[in-house]
Amino acid sequence: MTLTETELSEVARANASGLTPVVFIHGLWLLSSSWQPWRELFEGEGYTTLAPSWPDDPATVEEAKANPDAFAGKMVKQVTDHYAEAIGRLTQSPVVIGHSFGGLIAQKLAGDGLNAVTVGIDPAQFQGVTALPVSALKSGAPALLKFNHTKHGVTLTYEQFAYGWSNALPEDEGKALYEKFHVPASGVPIFQAATANFNPFAETKVDTENHERGPLLLIAGGEDHTVPPSVVENEYKIQKKNPNDTELAIIPGRGHSLVIDSGWREVADTALEFVQRYLP
């Protein structure tokens, strides 16, 4: 078992509520606490929510910044298995909403038939996605060029965060988000995604053909440098071959920070409307 006492209590709370659970999955350079406004919105609409952390994540941003190597070495399968364990303890199949690498993991869980409905927001590319824009390489460079990346966490400078995350925001908001939310991250998943098409055993492989996948919405930020729209469009072209409903929403003028910045509600409402169509 990898779940913490806090995560087990969230699962128990969700089961006791009798409501449809919504599981939120964060990506690199954030903690699960970044989903709090989303959780409040969905709970206000009649759902119960839980937001497990990645294995061994520090509890707070302050603790994370003080111990960057706590994030080192985390791999896609390890994190996916952690969320699968949480979902396996739920008494109802959940809605799963993920951002960035959380969006990739959400699709992996959907491919395993664990989700009732799935929303991937600026999802990292899975094996078979060939789009690799220059901006994505530049955004990933702090991890890709990190020496001994398996033993140390990767912390972005503000300039790197401004390019990869807050490029569509005023500078004052970008700096505020960097101070409030940014934490170190494992660089390994970026290597896994970048090399997946050369590795038949890649952990970023997604079963896009499973007929039990359920409805899927992919959301892209129109100005995202980290996961540009072309990457999400490539994912959509692959996923839409699945017999279940598959939709794509591109939100103009938004960067990779779209789940935490001042425009988060537009993105959350897009996800909520999709979920309510299938699980009101």
CATH number of the domain where residue 143 is located:
3.40.50.1820
Rounded Cα–Cα distance for residues 122 and 104 (Å) = 9
For the segment 153-198, what is each residue's pLDDT rounded down to a tens digit?
899 999 999 999 999 999 999 999 999 999 999 999 998 998 899 9
pLDDT of residue 255: 98
Terminal Cα-to-Cα distance of the chain (whole angstroms): 32
DSSP string spanning 208-275?
A: ---TT---EEEEEETT-SSS-HHHHHHHHHHHTTSSS-EEEEEETT--TTTTTSTTHHHHHHHHHHHH
pLDDT of residue 147: 56
H helices, E strands: number in the chain: 11, 6
Least confident of 5-19, 91-105, 135-149, 247-261: 135-149
Q: Are 279 and 250 in contact (CB under 8 A)?
A: no
pTM across the whole model: 0.96
Nearest residue to 235 via CA among 155, 127, 163: 127
Enclosing domain of residue 15: 5-278
Confidence of residue 264 (pLDDT cuts 50, 70, 90): very high
* Percent of the chain whose pLDDT exceeds 70: 98
For the segment 126-165, what is each residue's pLDDT rounded down to a tens digit?
999 998 788 887 888 877 766 565 678 899 999 999 999 9
From residue 64, give the alpha-carbon distance in Å to each of 40, 83, 92: 24, 20, 32
* Percent of the chain whose pLDDT exceeds 90: 88
Rounded Cα–Cα distance for residues 76 and 204 (Å) = 7
Q: Is the pLDDT of residue 248 over 90?
A: yes
Region 76-84: mean pLDDT is: 98
pLDDT of residue 87: 98
Question: How many domains does the structure of the chain reveal?
Answer: 1
